[in-house]
């Protein structure tokens, strides 16, 4: 019997209502991540990455947000039919979220040992003493020097990079099936960024965790991910194996992202300006959302939205573009 994917999301839609307008921030996203795999979700700011992450975590129960989805499964468990209580039980244990701002994610008035320890006491029923011992092990695992001495320190006593490590320790504490890391290194300097990515990658290998790594940094995505999904205006416009997609993009938006990065080897390679701006989610053009910025756009692109479809490359490569074949074959000709 084959193991079900750790995460399986089908046709996710998230629509906000603000000032009497509908804002379709996520418009039909599919995600599949296998055990021990990293999927990078890549895209410019505002493309719907964080909203996708929060919807998967079940964290969008605000009154102005409407979430719908054809299927949502975590390790085969159906998230859609689960009660709010069951879902809360999974959150923080079977699936965890690491975001950018470690300082605001950690409780300033509790020592890091108490925060970590609480997870073990609440979810695993460990005694205070056992929980403290596990906390020290974890701090050690994520590379906090002198963990046994520092377990009683408070978040503000750690550097930004060390705080991010502590957040990751909390995220892996209960050995989740899935970690969603939303721009986990954006606030950190380049050297520390590399260390944090290395840490997430090592934990993935050692613990077999599946990782959804959200980033606007192509370099980051290239370094640690198996597959990449490129998001534009609330939809995935291309996905495939990281190397293949970087070698030969099948969507002009992916091509533009790559062209905007002068050097993939340089870890600071953030997305540079692509001419034009993404559409406002409240005002997406008919046809292909990228058409107004695309130098390949034809009349068909302006009128008819290209669906995300499997390309004939022999690998599992998907793109939503009327010109994908041209892009692939043009490059090979
Ligand atoms: P990113 O890809 O940068 O993470 P987000 O997922 O945060 O983008 O946002 C996608 C779109 O959804 C943005 O246009 C944002 O303005 C909109 N959005 C996010 N949260 C809300 C909200 N609570 N109410 C209204 N619009 C929102
Ligand atoms: Mg975001």
pLDDT tens for each residue of 266-309? 545 455 567 788 888 888 888 999 999 999 999 999 999 999 99
pLDDT at 265: 54
Instruction: Please give the number of the atom of ligand 1 that sits closest to the Cα of 48.
Output: 6
Least confidently predicted of 20-29, 60-69, 185-194: 185-194
Closest ligand 1 atom to Cα of 234: 10
Nearest CA to ligand 1 atom 21: 16
- Please tell me the residue having the least CA distance from ligand 1 atom 20: 51
Helices (H), 68-182: 84-90, 102-105, 112-124, 128-141, 147-150, 160-172
Helices (H), the chain: 49-57, 84-90, 102-105, 112-124, 128-141, 147-150, 160-172, 190-207, 218-224, 242-247, 252-259, 299-303, 324-332
- Is the confidence at residue 37, as pLDDT, over 80? yes
> How far away, in angstroms, is 52 Cα from ligand 2 center?
9
Interior/surface letters 287-298, b for 16+ CB within 10 angstroms, e for the rest: bbbbbebbebbe
Choice between 259 and 41, residue whose per-residue pLDDT is larger = 41
- pTM of the complete model: 0.91
> CB of 113 closer than 6 A to ligand 1?
no
The C-alpha atoms of residue 209 and residue 116 are separated, in whole angstroms, by 19
Residue 272 located in a structural domain: yes
Strand partners, 215: 42
Per-residue model confidence (pLDDT) at position 166? 93
> What separation in Å is there between the alpha carbon of 238 and the centre of ligand 1?
20
Residues whose CB falls within 8 Å of the CB of residue 167, separated by 6 or more in sequence, listed in order:
98, 102, 105, 106, 184
Mean pLDDT across the stretch 248-255? 94
- Domain containing 298 equals 235-333
Residue 331's pLDDT is 64
Q: What is the mean pLDDT of residues 44-56?
A: 93
In this predicted structure, the answer to whether residue 264 has a pLDDT above a threshold of 80 is no
Q: Is residue 326 part of a domain?
A: yes
Q: Is the CB of 49 under 6 A from ligand 1?
A: yes
pLDDT at 186 > cutoff 80: no
Residue nearest to atom 25 of ligand 1 (CA): 16
Please provide the average confidence, as pLDDT, over all residues in the chain.
90
Is the CB–ligand 1 distance for residue 318 below 6 Å? no
Number of domains forming the structure of the chain: 1
**Of 152, 172, 208, the residue nearest 95 (C-alpha):** 172
Weakest-pLDDT range from 83-92, 143-152, 273-282:
273-282
Has residue 51 been placed in a domain? Answer: no
């Amino acid at each position: 019997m084959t193991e079900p994917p750790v995460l399986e999301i089908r046709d996710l839609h998230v629509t906000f209502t603000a000032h009497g307008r509908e804002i379709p921030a996520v418009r039909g996203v599919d995600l599949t991540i296998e055990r021990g795999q990293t999927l990078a979700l890549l895209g410019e700011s505002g493309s719907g990455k964080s909203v996708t992450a929060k919807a998967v975590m079940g964290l969008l129960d605000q009154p102005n947000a409407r979430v719908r989805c054809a299927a949502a499964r975590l390790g085969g468990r159906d998230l859609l039919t689960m009660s709010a209580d069951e879902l809360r039980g999974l959150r923080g244990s079977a699936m965890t979220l690491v975001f950018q701002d470690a300082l605001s994610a950690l409780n300033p008035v509790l020592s890091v040992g108490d925060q970590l320890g609480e997870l073990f006491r609440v979810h695993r029923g460990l005694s205070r003493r056992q929980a403290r011992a596990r906390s020290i092990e974890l701090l050690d695992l994520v590379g906090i020097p002198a963990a046994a001495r520092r377990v009683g320190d408070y978040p503000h006593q750690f550097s930004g990079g060390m705080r991010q490590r502590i957040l990751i320790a909390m995220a892996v504490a209960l050995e989740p099936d899935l970690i969603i890391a939303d721009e986990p290194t954006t606030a950190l300097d380049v050297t520390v960024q590399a260390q944090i990515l290395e840490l997430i990658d090592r934990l993935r290998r050692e613990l077999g965790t599946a990782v959804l790594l959200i980033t606007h940094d192509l370099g980051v995505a290239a370094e640690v991910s198996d597959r990449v999904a490129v998001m534009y205006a609330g939809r995935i416009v291309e996905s495939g194996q990281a190397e293949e997609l970087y070698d030969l993009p099948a969507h002009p938006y992916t091509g533009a992202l790559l062209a905007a990065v002068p050097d993939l080897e340089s870890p600071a390679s953030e997305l540079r300006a692509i001419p034009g701006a993404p559409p406002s989610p409240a005002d997406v053009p008919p046809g292909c959302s990228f058409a107004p910025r695309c130098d390949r756009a034809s009349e068909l692109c302006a009128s008819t939205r290209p669906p995300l479809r499997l390309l004939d490359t022999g690998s599992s490569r998907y793109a939503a573009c009327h010109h994908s074949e041209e892009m692939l074959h043009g490059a090979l000709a």
